[in-house]
Structure 1
Amino acid sequence: MAFKRIGIIGAGKVGIVLAGLALNAGYEVRISGSGSVKKIALTIDTLVPGAIATENADLVANSDLIILAIPLSRYKNISPELLKDKLVVDAMNYWWETDGIREEVLAPDSTSSEQVQEYFKDSTIVKTFNHMGYHNLQEEAKPKGAPNRKSLFVTGDNPEAVDQVAEFVDSMGFDPIVHYNLADGIMTEPGSPLFGASLTASELNEVIKNFDQTEFGKQIEAAKDK
């Protein structure tokens, strides 16, 4: 399935940047946020003219792909029923400054995206857009085949969904590096070598190859074996 309509839940910095990239790539884009539609529309008209400000229900009903670009601590504010049968990109990370105490947000025995998938049990979660800073996302998107094109890690448990999102990532200006295990998303979370990194595909693959030599590598294996 080729995506045509992208829905972004979250009108913060990451959501706005992703909306701009999606508009540049030719997608129809809807954005919702915690404020009123009227207030969000003022921001959108200034920063990403062409995107449509709306409420969550309308966004979900009129989007082929949903992106969660909200603070991780707020994902349970969204009803699982709302995203039922939807393909959802988890672009979130735990960040203490916005999310508070980690133990109050996440269980200690699995990765954040696995917990997001467990909550949205009737949705398909794919993790990406979460390890590169929003400034890099905005400034370093390049056409396919461009020299030194940056790369994004894409992972999930559903191979077909991961491949679809990988094509979307490619269209947004980045080379996708694909894994088929949602637990591998731990490699992109804060504290990992990939978090905050803006790397080419070969550089990113090199970091991944050496990842099992790090403490995070041990955490990945623990998450896989739980």
Structure 2
Amino acid sequence: MKIGIIGSGNIGGTLAKYLINLGHEVIISNSRGPASLTEVVEKTGAIAGTVEEAAAAEDLIIIAIPEKAIPNLPVSILSISKAIIIHSGNYYPSRDGRNIDIENGLTDSEWVAKVIGHPVIKAFNNIVAGSLAAKALPKENPGRIALSVAGDNLADKLSIMQLIDEIGFDAIDAGAIASSWRQQPGEPAYCRDLDKQNLIDALEKADINKRAENLALADEIARPYL
């Protein structure tokens, strides 16, 4: 596949390395421009590009940036893309500022889809970067970590679930994008190294009535690191 990654931090860089190792062509980008990506390119084998070039990737685009940077994306390119677009970020008010749409009920990814004018798949957001980088395992390994994938297009979800399996993690269908709040900060499924059944159980334990409370607690815990 021809893949564009917008965001060169821990998640973006780690995914670039996995995807290159699987034989895909990857353009990685950030807001600082290609000249700032020398180290990432050396570590991953990806091609340094502009955000616009990554957003124009033909098959898959991964958005791995803070929510506060989403409005700066090249909407004119993303909105007409034929690629699957993954949103792997999470909303933290203390970092991203107050987001009225999310506070009024949209999930992080519903808001991103609204801003860029293109449906998204929610994936790679509920695992810490260290686990993503170090804990991939072959298929059928009893210690394999599972990742949840939410979205409204079943075919797109299945494609991403297969990709996750190839990278080295189990994947489960977490339902529609409107249900993706269950894998957001503060919820039982967030940033825990769970196997498939335990991840399913954690998603089911999520209580919509505690969503705002759980996010506030997660934001407070994460504040020193953001």
TM-score tier by shorter-chain length is 0.7 to 0.9
Q: Distance in 2 between matches of 1:36 and 1:108?
A: 34
Q: 2:48 pairs with 53, 76, 79, which one?
A: 53
Q: Distance in 1 between matches of 2:86 and 2:158?
A: 12
Q: Is residue 7–residue 29 contact of structure 1 (8 Å, CA) maintained in 2? A: yes
Q: 2:2 pairs with 2, 5, 9, which one?
A: 5
What is the 5 A alignment of 1:132-151? Answer: 132-151=127-146
Q: 1:109 to 1:70 in 2, by over 3 A?
A: same
- Give the CA deviation at 1:105: 7.8
Q: 2:74 pairs with 72, 79, 89, which one?
A: 79
Residue 44 in structure 1 maps to residue 71 in structure 2: no
Residue 32 in structure 1 maps to residue 33 in structure 2: no
Partner residue, 1:175:
170
TM-score by length of 1: 0.85
Residue 110 in structure 1 maps to residue 140 in structure 2: no
- Give the CA deviation at 1:74: 0.6
What is the 5 A alignment of 1:151-166? Answer: 151-166=146-161
- Give the CA deviation at 1:214: 6.9
Q: Is residue 6–residue 28 contact of structure 1 (8 Å, CA) maintained in 2? A: yes
Once the two structures are superposed, what CA deviation does each residue of 1:69-128 show, in whole Å capped at 9, x if it has no partner? 0111111101322112331000010124532x333684422111111111222x231001
Partner residue, 1:222:
none
Q: Is residue 159–residue 180 contact of structure 1 (8 Å, CA) maintained in 2? A: no
SS in structure 2 of the partner of residue 156 of structure 1: coil
Q: Is residue 150–residue 180 contact of structure 2 (8 Å, CA) maintained in 1? A: yes
Q: Which amino acid aligns with 2:16?
A: A
Q: Distance in 1 between matches of 2:132 and 2:209?
A: 26
Aligned CA-pair RMSD:
2.3
Q: Distance in 2 between matches of 1:70 and 1:59?
A: 13
Q: Which amino acid aligns with 1:20?
A: K
Q: Is residue 187–residue 206 contact of structure 2 (8 Å, CA) maintained in 1? A: no
Residue 90 in structure 1 maps to residue 87 in structure 2: yes
Q: 1:60 to 1:79 in 2, by over 3 A?
A: closer
- Give the CA deviation at 1:36: 2.2
Q: Distance in 1 between matches of 2:196 and 2:156?
A: 21
SS in structure 2 of the partner of residue 142 of structure 1: coil
Partner residue, 2:11:
14
- Give the CA deviation at 1:215: 2.4
Q: Is residue 5–residue 27 contact of structure 2 (8 Å, CA) maintained in 1? A: yes
Q: 1:43 to 1:88 in 2, by over 3 A?
A: same
Alignment length, in residue pairs? Answer: 212
TM-score by length of 2: 0.85
Residue 120 in structure 1 maps to residue 83 in structure 2: no
Q: Distance in 1 between matches of 2:69 and 2:167?
A: 26
Structure 2 segments unaligned to the other structure (5+ residues): 215-226
